[in-house]
Amino acid sequence: MKRFLIKANKRLMSFYLLIILLVIWQLAPSLGWTNPMYVPSLSTIATEAVKMTIPQVLLNVGVSLRRVLIGFLLCVAGGLPLAFLMGGAVPKVALALRSLMQFLSQIPAYILFPVITMIWGPGEKSIAIVIFWSGFWPLLFTTIQGIQDIDPKLIRCARTMNAGPLTLFVKVILPAVLPNLMRGIRLGMTNCFLILIGAETMGGESGIGWLINHSQRMGQVPLIYLGAILAAVLGFLLNLLMLKLENRIVKWKQLPEDAAA
């Protein structure tokens, strides 16, 4: 029992400060520490969420999740092949694209909002493009860095053993680049989600960002906080999922340290 309590305490350690913050948030308006008109209690926010109906709340969460996943999958589909090309598979392509990619990556996604809306109009396509732009660059450059950090001796050794291009990629390059690749995927997902809320104000008719923007226009302060809480929870869960996936896939990287311990 004692061992279980110690283990549970370790798991909950990082949540204690959050729990204290939520308790203070609930008590602050009733104690007069904050103006309930601008900082409503958690119970007030929950009441407004119930009035809005749970299916409606879940619908907005589902729409935002679908959008961020579409943008993220576009990042992976476009970023990974280009990363391997620029990482050394085709040196001439890398040389031709390096300066252009570095220049374009300095353009923040939110600056492109009016341009993208003007060209493609408000709606799902514009939202997907903005999300894609935000997540594409960290995934691309982190993966390229991982490819360029591969020890050349590994590649030369594989070639002396008559390894073909496919075998070289599957047995040497991919395992070596996997930690950076997974880190890039996680950073890409994080960036996709961070820009999502702003992107959903570009003409979306549902989603967490739309909920926040619509509530602000209507003066529904509790629903603004509800949207912020939903965004925080969804972002936390997505990041946790990506961390779990990264740790599972590159678990072998931790083996030497664990063995040493």
Q: Is residue 219 part of a domain?
A: no
Give dist(CA 206, CA 167) in Å, integer: 47
Q: Distance between CA atoms of 4 and 253, rounded to whole angstroms?
A: 28
Q: Is residue 206 part of a domain?
A: no
Confirm whether 89 is domain-assigned.
yes
pLDDT at 158: 80
Residue 260's pLDDT is 40
Residues of the domain holding 124: 56-200+231-250
Structural contact between residues 191 and 135, judged by C-beta atoms closer than 8 angstroms:
yes
Mention every residue, 6+ apart, whose C-beta is less than 8 A from residue 210: 60, 200, 201, 204
**In the prediction, which pLDDT does 37 show?**
86
CATH number of the domain at 196, please: 1.10.3720.10
In a domain, 152, yes or no: yes
**Does some domain include residue 213?**
no
Query: How many domains is the chain partitioned into structurally?
Result: 1
Residue 22 lies in a domain: no
For residue range 183-225, what is the model confidence (pLDDT) as tens digits? 888 889 989 988 888 888 776 778 888 888 888 888 889 999 9
- Tell me what pLDDT residue 8 has: 65
Whether 100 maps to a domain, the answer reads yes
What's residue 98's pLDDT? 85
Q: Which residues of the chain are modeled with pLDDT < 70?
A: 1-2, 4-9, 11-12, 89, 203, 251-261
H-helix or E-strand spanning residue 254: none
CA dihedral 170, 171, 174, 175 (to 10 degrees): 150
